[in-house]
Each structure stands twice: as C-alpha cells, then as structure tokens.
Amino acid sequence: MNKRISEHAGLYIHIPFCICKCPYCDFFSITNHSLKQAFLEALFREMDLYKGLSESFNSIYIGGGTPSVLTPEEISCVLKQVYAGFVIEDNAEITMEVNPGTIDDKTCLGYKNAGVNRLNIGVQSFSDNHLKFLGRIHSAAQSRAAIETARKAGFHNLGIDLIYCLPNQSLNDWKKDLKAAVRFKPDHLSCYLLTFEPGTPLTKDMEKGIYPFPDENISRIMFLFTIRFLETQGYLQYEISNFARVGEKNPRHFESRHNRKYWNFVPYLGLGPSAHSYLKLSRFWNHASVTRYIQDLKNGKFPVAGKEMINHEQRKIETILLGLRKKEGFSLKHYRDQFGHTLPAEKLLQLQHNGYLQKSNDRCALTPKGMCILDSICELLA
Ligand code: SF4
C-alpha cells in the first residue's frame, strides 16, 4: 500500500428493503420484497458502470433499509462483485447493519464467512414499551440474543444503535438503556436523539398532539449524561452521536472508519436506490425508487437523480458544521489556508468564554455544552 489510509474512499451500498416501516424513519426503503432479485441484478450492473474508477476503497458499508433481509449467500455475492469490480484494500473495514428481528446463529455466521468484519445492530432500546412506540419488529430479548449471537459468530467489532429522548421517556429510562447496552461491552455505540423528520407518521402524530414533543431541556440533560456515563465505561465520544471503546493498541481502533469519511470530506461512492456519493468535489444521488433504479440500469444508464458541485461557500459552511460535529474539531490553520480568511476571533473568544468551545494549538472544538447548540454556533461562525 502506498497511499495514506485517509486517502482511500468509502463504498456505501444501500439495501432498500425492510420488513415493515418504522414510523419515525425517513430512510428510503420498501416492504415489498418481490423485487429483491431484480434489485441485486441492477446493483451488479451499477457496479459494472463504475468499473475503472481511480479510487481505491478501505471501507465498505452495507446499510439500508435492512441489509439483513438478504441471505448470507446474497451478501457473499454482493461482496464478491465488489471485490471483482473495485480496488479494495487488504485491511478494509466491512460493516453491515442488521436488525435484531432478522438474524440467528446461522445467518450471523454466514455474514461473517461472507467477509463482513463489523456488525452494527439496530437495537434502539432495551425497553419493550419503547420498541413498541418506535414500531420496531423485535423485542428487547431478541436484541440481547442478537448481540450474543454476533459475538458467538466471531464478530470482534460490534456496534449497537440506540435512540433516546422519546416522548415520555425519563432520564432514568435512558440510564437503564445505556447500562443495559454497556453490559454487553459493545465496541461502538451510536446514540441518536429521536428526530422528527417532516412527513413521517410519527411527526404527523406529534403535530396532531397525540404525543408531546420532548422538552429541549430534557434532551440536553440526556445528551450530557450520555457523554459522562459512557466515558466512565471506557467509551470516548468522537462525534456528536458516536462513541467508541478505547482500543488497546490503537485507542481509535473502534471508531467507524467509514463514517469518519463523511465528516472529513473523504470521497465515497454510494450504490443502490437513494444512495449519495461524493467524488471529485461533486455530490450526486440515486433515484429513491427501486423500480426506477432497476429500469435505468437495465437501460445501461446511471440511476442518478441529481448532482451538485460543492461551491466555495458551501464547503466553508460544511467545514465548520462537520468539523464541529467531531470531538477533535477542526484545524483553524487549515481553514485559513483553504478559505483565505480566519474565523471571527471575537466570536470564538466569546464562545470560549461561555464554555461552548475550546481551542488548543490551532484546533477548535465544541465542548459537550456547545454540542447541544451546534446549529446556532455554526450560524454564528459561518
Ligand atoms: S428498520 Fe431501519 S431503515 Fe427500516 S424502517 Fe425501520 S429504521 Fe427505517
């Protein structure tokens, strides 16, 4: 290998099928699986269209949707096609998202044997009541079993996703969830605040007043508690919602190599319906329709729905926004070299003075208190 790891691109594959739709979710997926075979054929055609791409990849992320609706044989086929069509580094991180309601000992082992080396389990909560509220297809007992099954299958890099700040969820409920999660010693934890995306069934219910919108103060308290608690358990926050167990040899070993590319402007290619890509300073995205995706590829066309060049102004805003999402923040010198001006010193000082931001050497990063008001701080600085 003659390239630095940070220069390798990431490959994302979107599997657009779910067993049923969760009312809070706005990711693209369908519940009719009759097009699964045609989708896989289209996916392989899409890979063919990108043959000869100059990028090499050191991370593959199979997300969705629910990738575990695919059998281990199908995942193995997908990965074989990836290796046949792209330059994949020897040590590539290969992540797959799984839903606890869809895996067992055999499938888990099958995914491992197919080449997946990092499993991310969508647990979301260890409370059956909250799982019911979230419309999940699995119980807390199934999540526990899925984590144990994944370990038994030999996954040494295991992540758990949790969602918090649900209506009527108390701080105590959330503490119980976090404690239940760390008992399994996962290597990675993503803790997402429940968001109300426009048009989802959950958002509509909230707008009708069926459930109360969570109090901002409670979400702040829960967020700050999460960081403090996970730190005491050996997990370091490296991005606003992401925590990794401190690795023995390399402390950052369990951070998601793939997701870090999104925050660091490293190129990525997205395959599958609705998948987004960032290559050669442009962003483009595929049609969020399985039929359109299949049709375009049958006709030998890229299934691309839109494209935009990232202009100077956008890049500047994103450098601040994405940089401040990370615990390590971003380099002020790099910002100045790239954009030809410095960030307003008096505003930085004011934020520092109020405990929202910290500067060390040439880096600036948000404190946990600052992360609670990330959007307002970006607006102030951009
Ligand atoms: S399983 Fe995941 S992708 Fe599918 S609807 Fe639920 S949250 Fe969305």
Q: What are the beta bridge partners of residue 56? A: 87
User: Quick one: average pLDDT of 61-86?
Assistant: 97
CA of 349 to the centre of ligand 1 (A): 42
Distance CA 299, CA 279 (A): 24
Residue 281: predicted pLDDT: 87
Residue 27 CB coordination number (10 Å): 16
| pLDDT surpassing 50 at residue 82 | yes
Averaged over 54-79, what is the pLDDT? 97
Q: Is the pLDDT of residue 280 over 90?
A: no
**CA 131 to ligand 1 centroid distance, Å:** 12
pTM of the model: 0.95
Q: Compute the distance between CA of residue 42 and CA of residue 275 in angstroms, rounded to an integer.
A: 14
* Residue 226: predicted pLDDT: 98
Atom of ligand 1 nearest to the CA of 20: 5
User: 213 falls in which pLDDT band (50, 70, 90)?
Assistant: confident
Q: How far apart are CA 181 and CA 188, in angstroms?
A: 10
In 290-360, where do the E strands start and end?
A: 304-309, 330-331, 357-360
The answer, yes or no, to whether any atom of ligand 1 lies below 6 A from the CB of 21, is: yes
pLDDT of residue 212: 85
Residues of the chain with pLDDT > 90, as a percent, come to 93
User: What is the band of 216 on the pLDDT scale with cuts at 50, 70, 90?
Assistant: confident
Q: Does 4 score more than 80 pLDDT? A: no
Answer whether 181 contacts ligand 1 (Cβ < 6 A): no
Ligand 1 nearest-atom number relative to CA 137 = 1
* 290-310 average pLDDT score: 97
Q: Is 6's pLDDT higher than 60?
A: no
Q: What is the arithmetic mean of pLDDT over 170-189?
A: 98
Query: What pLDDT shows up at residue 308?
Result: 96
pLDDT reported for residue 2: 39
* CB contact set of 147 (below 8 Å; sequence gap of 6+): 100, 121, 123, 158, 160, 184, 186
**Residue bearing the CA closest to ligand 1, atom 5:** 21
d(C-alpha 56, C-alpha 146), whole Å? 33
- Count CA within 13 A, CB hemisphere, residue 92: 25
Of the residues 15, 18, 61, 192, which should be mutated to test ligand 1's pocket, given the most ligand atoms within 8 Å of the CB?
A: 18
Q: What is the pLDDT of residue 5?
A: 42
Is residue 22 within 6 Å of ligand 1 at its C-beta? yes
Ligand 1 centroid–CA 70 distance in Å is 15
- d(C-alpha 58, C-alpha 10), whole Å: 6
pLDDT band at 215 (very low <50, low <70, confident <90, very high): confident
Mean pLDDT of 48-65: 95
pLDDT digits (tens, 9 = 90+) for 219-270: 999 999 999 999 999 999 999 999 999 988 899 999 999 999 999 999 999 9
Distance 342 CA to ligand 1 centre (A): 41
The pLDDT value recorded for residue 326 is 98
Average pLDDT estimate for 317-332 = 96
- Rounded to whole angstroms, the Cα distance separating 257 from 47 reads 22
Nearest CA-CA partner of 152 in 144, 160, 161: 144
Residue nearest to atom 8 of ligand 1 (CA): 25
Q: How many CA atoms lie within 13 A of 135 on its CB side?
A: 11
Q: Decide: 15 in ligand 1 pocket, CB within 6 A.
A: no
- For residue 1, the model assigns a pLDDT of 37
Q: Check if 25 has its Cβ closer than 6 Å to any atom of ligand 1.
A: yes
CA 361 to ligand 1 centroid distance, Å:
42
CA distances (Å), origin 52, targets 56, 60, 201, 304, 349: 10, 17, 42, 18, 49
Domains of the chain, CATH where assigned: 5-263 (3.20.20.70), 312-381 (1.10.10.920)
Q: Does the pLDDT value for residue 3 go beyond 60?
A: no
**In the prediction, which pLDDT does 147 show?**
98
